[in-house]
């Protein structure tokens, strides 16, 4: 079922399917990862051998550092690529929330931007304590329209979400767990793995109809909100990608300098 995937890696642990974002060193969401994530949860829904999904990143540095800088630069002139990416993000989130099988995010390192969105839309999010979680769309001149503006307020409330989304500031996993942005944080990768795979195996051996039905019930509100808002959020992000501020922010990041928004206007 997963033979056609190349940017995502798959491992079976009984009824648990481990999906790994494999783009070292930071597992940034390049064209391949972004495209494959947009379809993988639809395939998992048809996978009768899988009861629980664990999603993680390769290595220990990052779960995913978010958008790929070179892809952003290409999209300055490649509007079709940008439209495709925005459509893929919506398709991913719809499929992730509609999937009745539990999804556990194993946040093995920093989860940034799109990486944070993927982790936070998962049902359970366990992280290594040293990981930083951030949605710095504003730092590259973009609206947090690929899910961040929806999920952060749902998890930590509007007041805290506004602070983190309007600044793009990171939060350490331990504090993120304390305020409810993620489920739990662990001091070592060994402890993280024990928690992640222990829970995955427990859920996989539990009463599947009850567990899946409960997940479906929990997600009904989020699915309704996603359905009514994601196109508007995506449209706001698309419009911001057309601005001179976005171009200046991306080039400044690439050139390792501070952006000069005054001259960009």
CA–CA separation, 208 and 221 (whole Å): 21
Q: Average pLDDT in the 97-111 region?
A: 98
Summarised one tens digit per residue, pLDDT across range 140-171 is 999 999 999 999 999 999 999 999 999 999 99
pTM of the model: 0.95
pLDDT at position 200: 98
Is the pLDDT score of 139 beyond 70? yes
Return d(Cα 175, Cα 156) in angstroms, integer. 12
Read off the tokens for 25.
């060193």
Q: Are 6 and 32 in contact (CB under 8 A)?
A: yes
Residue 23: pLDDT over 70? yes
Q: What is the pLDDT of residues 200-219, one digit of tens each?
A: 999 999 999 999 999 999 99
User: Can you tell me the mean pLDDT for 39-64?
Assistant: 97
Instruction: Answer whether residue 264 shows pLDDT above 70.
Output: no
pLDDT at residue 57 above 90?
Answer: yes
Reduced to 3 states (helix: H, G, I; strand: E, B; else coil), residue 63 is strand
Work out the average pLDDT over 45-73: 92
pLDDT at 224 over 80: yes
Q: What is the pLDDT of residue 91?
A: 95
CA 252 to chain centre: 24
Which domains are delineated in the chain?
A: 8-204 (3.90.226.10)
> Cα separation of 250 and 53, whole Å?
34
Segment 100-114 shows an average pLDDT of: 97
pLDDT of residue 66: 82
Tokens of 33: 């990862």
With a cut of 70, say whether residue 120 has pLDDT above it.
yes
Element (H, E) at 264: helix 261-264
């Amino acid at each position: 079922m997963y033979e056609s995937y190349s940017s995502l890696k798959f491992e079976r642990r009984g009824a648990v399917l481990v999906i790994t974002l494999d783009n070292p060193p930071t597992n940034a969401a390049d064209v391949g990862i972004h495209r494959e994530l947009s379809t993988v949860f639809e395939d998992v829904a048809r996978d009768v051998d899988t009861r629980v999904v664990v999603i993680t990143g390769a290595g220990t540095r990052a779960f995913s550092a978010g958008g790929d800088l070179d892809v952003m630069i290409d999209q300055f002139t490649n509007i079709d690529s940008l439209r495709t990416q925005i459509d893929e993000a919506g398709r991913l989130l719809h499929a992730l929330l509609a999937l009745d099988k539990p999804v556990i995010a194993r946040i093995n390192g920093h989860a940034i931007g799109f990486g944070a969105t993927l982790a936070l839309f998962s049902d359970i999010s366990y992280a290594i304590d040293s990981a930083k979680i951030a949605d710095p769309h504003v730092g590259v001149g973009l609206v947090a329209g690929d899910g961040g503006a929806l999920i952060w307020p749902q998890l930590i409330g509007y007041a805290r979400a506004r602070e983190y989304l309007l600044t793009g500031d990171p939060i350490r996993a331990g504090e993120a767990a304390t305020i409810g942005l993620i489920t739990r944080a662990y001091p070592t990768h060994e402890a993280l793995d024990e928690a992640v795979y222990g829970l995955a195996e427990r859920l996989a051996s539990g009463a599947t109809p009850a567990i899946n039905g409960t997940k479906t019930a929990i997600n009904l509100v989020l699915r309704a909100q996603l359905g009514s808002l994601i196109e508007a959020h995506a449209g706001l992000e698309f419009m911001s990608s057309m601005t001179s501020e976005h171009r200046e922010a991306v080039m400044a990041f690439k050139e390792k300098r501070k952006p000069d928004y005054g001259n960009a206007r």
